[in-house]
Amino acid sequence: MIISMKLHATKEEVATVRRRIEEFGYKVHSIEGEERVVIGVVGVGDVTACLESLEATPGVEKAVRISAPYKFVSREFRPNKTEITVRGVTFGGSEFVVMAGPCSVENERQILESAEIVARAGAKFLRGGAFKPRTSPYDFQGLAVEGLKLLDQARRATGLGIITEVMSDGDVNLVAEYADILQIGARNMQNFALLKTLGRCGRPVLLKRGMSSTIKELLMSAEYIVAHGNPQVMLCERGIRTFETATRNTCDLAAIAALDELTHLPVILDPSHATGKRSLVPALSRAAVAIGADGLLVEVHPAPEKALSDGAQSLDPKQFAAMMQDLSPYLKLWERSRMAEVAAAR
Ligand code: PEP
Ligand code: MN
């Protein structure tokens, strides 16, 4: 249930509502907002009786049962977008944020060069996997802790924030020591032990959509992280499996617009995994800007032909710089429409 209090409801009225919720055997999960308080309620009980009682309680504007199985990530719960600020950069606000870098951290020179290349072109975060989920056990599995240390070195050299993948709940604390944002890969979107641990990791999380997952399942996975205590979640569309074989995955652009209606969480597009082809990445990136995504996660490698993973979809330094330049007129339109949205929300 979600209880919206009247504008300027008093503290006493909020306290009475809270008591009544508890009398019905429910739990208050969170209380949001200052001028207009919205209370999120979880638990099992007599919903109809509880709703009727709350609607009749002074200070309550509306008490609604949430039809969607996810609550805290829904737009109903929080009509305004969630803003997540990391190292002074805000996702979900008035900035379109680009995160870029190689698929994997391979060695010191490669990651430092990558960091300089993407920083120079305007990216704010360096991506790079230290723990790699590979289909074949014989493929490069990542440098693990050594890779995390190299990412830290690149952060100190360039000032970029770091986003890197964590694959298991046992590694969350370790990766959180080094990363500014924890990436959850498509293959782990429904690793529930991992999702629960992320609730307590103290870092923002970028949750990638599973390659065979629905939008609802993606939101349910995000709900796990938020319900376990971490509201700083971003979602990432990275392409899904369909009958189409011309691209590595099918980029579900409509998911970005649909998510914008269903959730207040920031939404990022990964055009690299979504297509598997570097030639398609700039077009998809423009589309992400046009459709109102909050940012991009792009694979860039100093020498893609030598990459240990995902070289075919990685942009080279020149291609990335050109793409960033070509995005700029679209970004001006993006900023205008985002300002208008923010003004309308106020
Ligand atoms: C990656 O970002 O390199 C990656 C493995 O992505 P995904 O989980 O989307 O396949
Ligand atoms: Mn990759």
Half-sphere exposure of 129 (CA within 13 A, CB side): 22
pLDDT in tens, 109-125: 999 999 999 999 999 99
pLDDT in tens, 148-195: 999 999 999 999 999 999 999 999 999 999 999 999 999 999 999 999
Find tokens 């297509």 and name the residue.
275
Q: What angle do CA 139, 208, 79 make, to 5 degrees?
A: 170
Distance 186 CA to ligand 1 centre (A): 6
Q: Give, for ligand 1, the residue of 183, 247, 298 to mutate: max count of ligand atoms closer than 8 Å to Cβ.
A: 183
The pTM assigned to this predicted structure is 0.89
Cβ of residue 271 lying under 6 Å from some atom of ligand 1: no
Cβ of residue 211 lying under 6 Å from some atom of ligand 1: no
- Residue 160 CA to residue 21 CA, distance in Å, equals 45
pLDDT in tens, 249-300: 999 999 999 999 999 999 999 999 999 999 999 999 999 999 999 999 999 9
- Residue 212 CA to residue 225 CA, distance in Å, equals 20
> For atom 1 of ligand 1, which residue has the closest CA?
103
Residue 56 tokens, joined:
């009749």
Half-sphere exposure of 266 (CA within 13 A, CB side): 27
Specify the 3-state DSSP secondary structure of 52. helix
pLDDT in tens, 55-76: 999 999 999 987 678 989 999 8
Find tokens 């991009």 and name the residue.
296
> Strand 181-184 to strand 233-237: parallel, antiparallel, or no bridges (unpaired)?
unpaired
What residues flank ion ligand 2 with Cβ within 5 A? 103, 310
> Strand 38-42 to strand 2-5: parallel, antiparallel, or no bridges (unpaired)?
antiparallel
| Start-to-end C-alpha separation, the chain | 24
